[in-house]
Every structure is written in structure tokens, then in C-alpha cells.
Amino acid sequence: MTSHDDLTARCRAVLLGVAVGDALGAPMEFMTSGEIAAKYGRLNEMVGGGWLRLKPGQVTDDTEMTLCLARGIVTAGGWDLRTIAHEFAVWLRSKPIDVGDTCRRGIRNFMLKGETESPPNQWDAGNGALMRMTPLALYTLGDKELLQKCSIEHGHLTHNHPLSDAACICYGRMIQMALLGAEKSRLRREADRLAAEYPSFRFDPYPGLATGYVVDTLQTVFHYFFRSRSFEECVTSTVNQGGDADTTGAIIGGVAGAYYGLEEIPRRWLKKLDRGCVTELESLAPKLVSLSPQLTQSRSPSTSSS
């Protein structure tokens, strides 16, 4: 396989990783790890059910908002916050099966007032911006500063909070490093750097909370990502922690997809996902990377100077 094909496959694995993590975890959302263990032993199949009464393999807002962000970038042919906000608005009007309160408020703020930045709010440190971040990591591949700018602007559509911003940027960087072949120890240094700057993100020892608070969410993702040895182990151990299981599952699925690659995502999980969803994610992933300003420039140096 050429390295270009390998990168394309890894980018697909990022978006598909989000979807399988979401679908595996969603039926466990709001359960405790003890309740999951009592009912399933160790859950590692797409069972459906849960408080949303899902079909096996059905995805939720985590994947749907990821799709909106990816569509927004590809439709605009680059970075345009209003196109992304419009995609979120179309999605909200479609009466999705689940929407976080902070996301709903931010999107309604855009729909009613045309605003693309929610006011700062100390309570907006949920994981709703982090959970939909992966398309940005693909679109800004190779450009740290653009990743930072886009992460913050996109996050503030709904979540205007420094901990959410910091989590989004760190997660995006980790995905980009993994896509470009970095070892886990380098990803670990990135996580440690976040914890040094914002000590609340320290995850060793793991506090064991997997709530929708972005700190708890990312601690859970870090803990299981750095101690697991396969894509399946990463995602399974994360969703069995319970709490915001679809979202922690989606988030770890993205970075684990980048790190382990497409071949490592269990086929039996992919087969349970909706075909239309898989096809769209697979087609959007390489388009996002091909729009990356950094990669576009390096391919055609003559146009970048004009």
C-alpha cells in the first residue's frame, strides 16, 4: 500500500472510529460501570436499546454533529463558520434523536440571531464541541495554527469555555500526530502537556468519572487509550466505564482509528452501522484532507505564492 492510500485509510478510520464508538456506547449512556457489568458482563457487541431505544449500530448526535462539521467544510470548500452553523441548524430542524442542551442553545442562537459565537459561560465545559472535532483534525492536517484557530471558532458556536478549547486542540493534535505515524509515547507527551497547563486534566491516577464534563471525558479517553493495545480494547474498555458512554466511545474511537488504522476496526461493528452513514463518512474523509490548506500548498507551490 502506498503511503497516500495508507493516509486515506487512516483518515477514514478516524471518522468511522467515531461512529462505531458512538453506536457501541450509546445503549450504555447514563449507566454505571456496575450496571453494565451486571447486565452484559463485558459489553463488546452492538446491542442497541438504552434510554434512547436504539437499533443495534444506530449512531447519535456525536456522529451526526461530526457529519455536519465535515459536510460544512466540504460544502464550503474550506473554512466557513456560517456554513457549518447552517449544517447544525439543518440537523437541529430534522428533530434528531438526541441533542445536548448546550449544543441546542448555541445552534438556536445562530438560527434566531445569526450569531456564530456563544457568550463565555462557566457552565459550558461539556464535551459537546470535543465530540465532533475529528473532521477539523483532517482538514487542518499539517497546520497546527489553523487547527487551533478552527478548533476555537468551531467550539464557540456552542461551547465557549477555555477547558473545552484546550481539550479540542489537544485531541486534534493527537489525531494529527497519529495520522502521520507518531508513536504512542509522543501522543502521551501531548496529553501530559495539556495536564501540565490545566492540572484538572491529570488522568494518572484515573479518577474514574466518565461524565459529560469535558475534563472527566478526556481523562477517561486518555486513561483507556494509553493502557489499551488495540482499537477494540480502547473502545470496549471506554464504553464499559458507562456514564457518557457514547461520547467517550466516539472520542476514543477517533484517536484510536487514527492510531491503529482502518484494518483494526472490528468488521462486525462496521457491518452493524447504517450503510448510508458509512458511505458518507468514507467519502468525506479524503475530501477533508485534500482541502487542507497546508497540503494543498505543498502540492502546488506555484499557486501558493500568488
Residues found near Mn ion in the complex (CB under 5 A) = 60-62, 244, 246-247
Distance separating alpha carbons of residues 282 and 277, to the nearest angstrom: 9
- By beta-carbon proximity to Mn ion, the closer residue of 60 and 240 is 60
Give the type of residue at 286: P
Contact at 8 Å (CB) between 256 and 19?
A: no
Give the type of residue at 68: C
The least CB distance from residue 139 to Mn ion, in Å, is 22
The least CB distance from residue 63 to Mn ion, in Å, is 8
The least CB distance from residue 232 to Mn ion, in Å, is 20
Distance separating alpha carbons of residues 44 and 179, to the nearest angstrom: 25
- By beta-carbon proximity to Mn ion, the closer residue of 72 and 126 is 126
- By beta-carbon proximity to Mn ion, the closer residue of 72 and 128 is 128
The least CB distance from residue 299 to Mn ion, in Å, is 37
The least CB distance from residue 185 to Mn ion, in Å, is 30
* Cell numbers given for 62: 456525536
- By beta-carbon proximity to Mn ion, the closer residue of 190 and 246 is 246
- By beta-carbon proximity to Mn ion, the closer residue of 128 and 261 is 128
Residue nearest to Mn ion (CB): 60
The least CB distance from residue 169 to Mn ion, in Å, is 21
The least CB distance from residue 141 to Mn ion, in Å, is 26
- By beta-carbon proximity to Mn ion, the closer residue of 179 and 239 is 239
Enumerate residues 6+ apart whose C-beta is below 8 A from 76: 83, 84
The least CB distance from residue 5 to Mn ion, in Å, is 32
The position carrying cell 467517550 is 248
* Cell numbers given for 188: 502521551
Distance separating alpha carbons of residues 266 and 141, to the nearest angstrom: 26
